[in-house]
Chain A
Amino acid sequence: MRPEVTYLPSGDCALTVEFGRSVDRQVNLQVMALDAALKDRALDGVIETVPTFRSLMVHYHPSVIDHDRLCAEIGTLDIAPEGAASAGRLITLPVAYGGDHGPDLQDVAQAGGLSPEDAIARHSGITHYVYMIGFAPGHPYMGDLPPELTLPRRKTPRTRIAPGTVAVAVGQTVIYPFASPGGWHAIGRTPVALCDIAREVPALLRAGDKVRLRPIGPDEYDGMLGRPVRDCITIEEPAR
């Protein structure tokens, strides 16, 4: 069955193709399937696409393809989500939890009735799914956390979150690639650069990837700083 699609104009040069309004893995897989199908189709006039939790933004040249024709073309694409589920890579990132690297670990554990060790074990024991990249260059939104690690954002946002900080809120995990203010709970830090402009694709993670977080100690963290990314992470490409 074809999913329900809503075509929402975002001005005259962008189109939001919406599959739902909430954070939902099936909805996101639909977004990823459309993104892949649109890339395959390589329509003249399409500039770039931005997958998000529940919609795909398509930036385009209206002098080459207008709104009506773009919607019609998208309507003809095969966007079965089955392929998208197995399309992402599996990436393992090192994370130093707690201490100076994760000042909110204690609070997060306490809110879930866990010891800090238990909180680390649960957070690093699941496979995270990258719903989208946004907010800042290379900044992933990942889900989904179990109920005991789910809590609202901080009442008072921190004015500075250190680059590489792994933070949780609203059932999700983010990693801040750059120093910035932020309202999420900082539980750890990765020494790996999530955005590197020297790479052809600057963002290390992409929407649709799966991520495992490997706990490391502060000494191992220090030892990895400045090392090439490939020495610190593992990447498994999807079976094709």
Chain B
Amino acid sequence: MSAALIVQSAGPFTTVQDLGRIGHQASGIPVSGALDPVSLRIANALVGNEGGEAALEMRLAGPVLKVAASRVRVALCGVSSPLQILAPEPREVASWQSVTLTQGTVFRAAPFKDSITAYLAVEGGIDVAPVLGSRSTCLRAGFGGLEGRMLADGDTLPLAMDGPGARPDLRLERPFDLAAPAKLRIVLGPQDDYFTQAAIDTLLSAEFRVTNEADRMGLRLAGPALAHEAGYDITSDGIATGAIQVPGDGQPIILLADHQTTGGYPKIATVISADLPALGRLAPGTALRFAAVSVAEAQGIYIASQREVSAILRAPRPVRIDAASLSSRALLSANLIGGVVSAAD
């Protein structure tokens, strides 16, 4: 039998995602891809994959999975809560590190902490066919990922590799900081002139809350209404990820990875790309504020954040037993079961 993970219970919203489907927006095909691409890339680095390999994106809670391969190396990233091994021997493995699991192991992500979006990367990747250059799931049109849909109970998730490569498991030097910036940074426009000055002032000073209408297409916010100066219908134009569109009720919607390529509501501002991963982590009820930056500033921040991520991706250390981690049941058992312990960093 070929290597696979058996989905014993699917979790509320689990999809296969990579870094997205580039180059088909003119055909109306959304980019899709990981809501938190930074965590996806780190998870891949920890299992030894190239940066953009497809992984499981898990929202709100994770699936229960069973290893149907001789051994498989996985890493949970995006949340500070651990991976829970349920059988045969219950134990926990910290997030932001890889662990090698043997045939028959049943595991899941513990209840999520510090984000509602987590990633499980598997060494070698998930063996679903790329569609238009990407393995990301396009739910709208039903293609990509596993049969173009969310995972369901009883699914078999095929893996590209049976048995991990001969290298130690890896962990990040320190857990990744998942905190959102105190104020999400935005560039005003493209249609800020459709709004009153009071609406712009409100956007930049008031507190907004993420409502329950939060999915991969976007986050509907609740806050003081943003008044339109020039109507709320525009002739449809292109949409960038992070765009904050404001329909007639004045309540903003931040558009995320699965957004339509075009739309007819005015967009008052766009969240800068460096802050998009934080948006993917926000739970309903979270309060947020905005601060405006110029395009030039946003582009400087983007370049700096890309450098920061590259540095993190270069820095994983082999998982090892040291005095500090002796008390950590998770790290200790990970090494004992994984069987690969490196003495040197």
Residue ranges of A at the interface with B (Cβ–Cβ < 8 Å): 8-14, 16, 18, 21-23, 47-57, 59, 62-63, 66-68, 132-139, 141, 177-178, 195, 197, 201-203, 206-207
B295 and A12 within 8 A (CB): yes
* Given known A-B contacts A12-B302, A51-B26, A63-B302, A136 and B237 have beta carbons under 8 A apart: no
A12, A22, A195, A203 interface centre (most CB from chain B within 10 Å) = A12
A171 CA / B84 CA spacing, docked (Å): 57
Q: Is the interface of A mostly helix, strand, loop or mixed?
A: loop
B141 and A52 within 8 A (CB): no
How many Å from the CB of B258 to the closest CB on chain A?
A: 12
B272's partner among A11, A49, A135 (CB-CB below 8 A) is A11
B28's partner among A11, A16, A134 (CB-CB below 8 A) is A134
Q: Write out the residue numbers on chain B whose beta carbons fall within 8 Å of the beta carbon of A139.
A: 28
Check: B176 CB closer than 8 A to any chain A CB: no
How many Å from the CB of A22 to the closest CB on chain B?
A: 6
B262 and A11 within 8 A (CB): no
A63's partner among B28, B243, B306 (CB-CB below 8 A) is B306
Q: Write out the residue numbers on chain A whose beta carbons fall within 8 Å of the beta carbon of B26.
A: 48-51, 133, 203, 206-207
Size of the B side of the interface (Cβ < 8 Å), in residues, is 48
B240 and A11 within 8 A (CB): yes
**Per-residue contact bits, chain B 267-283, to A (CB 8 Å; 1 contact, 0 not):** 10011111000000000
Check: B131 CB closer than 8 A to any chain A CB: yes
B237 and A53 within 8 A (CB): yes
A57 CA / B273 CA spacing, docked (Å): 16
Residue ranges of B at the interface with A (Cβ–Cβ < 8 Å): 22-30, 131-132, 138, 140-143, 187, 189-191, 234-243, 260-263, 267, 270-274, 295-296, 298-299, 301-303, 306
Q: Write out the residue numbers on chain B whose beta carbons fall within 8 Å of the beta carbon of A62.
A: 298-299, 302-303
Q: Which residue of B lies closest to A61 (CB)?
A: B302
A53 CA / B233 CA spacing, docked (Å): 14
A9 and B270 within 8 A (CB): yes
* Given known A-B contacts A10-B189, A12-B272, A14-B240, A202 and B132 have beta carbons under 8 A apart: yes
Shortest Cβ-Cβ A-B pairs, 5 listed:
A57-B238, A134-B262, A11-B270, A8-B190, A203-B27
How many Å from the CB of B298 to the closest CB on chain A?
A: 4
| Complex A-B: 18 CB contacts under 8 Å | A9-B190, A10-B243, A11-B187, A11-B240, A12-B274, A13-B273, A16-B237, A18-B190, A18-B237, A49-B26, A52-B237, A54-B237, A55-B237, A63-B303, A67-B296, A137-B140, A195-B27, A195-B141
B23 and A12 within 8 A (CB): no
B28 and A138 within 8 A (CB): yes
Q: Write out the residue numbers on chain A whose beta carbons fall within 8 Å of the beta carbon of B22.
A: 47-48
B235's partner among A21, A47, A48, A138 (CB-CB below 8 A) is A21
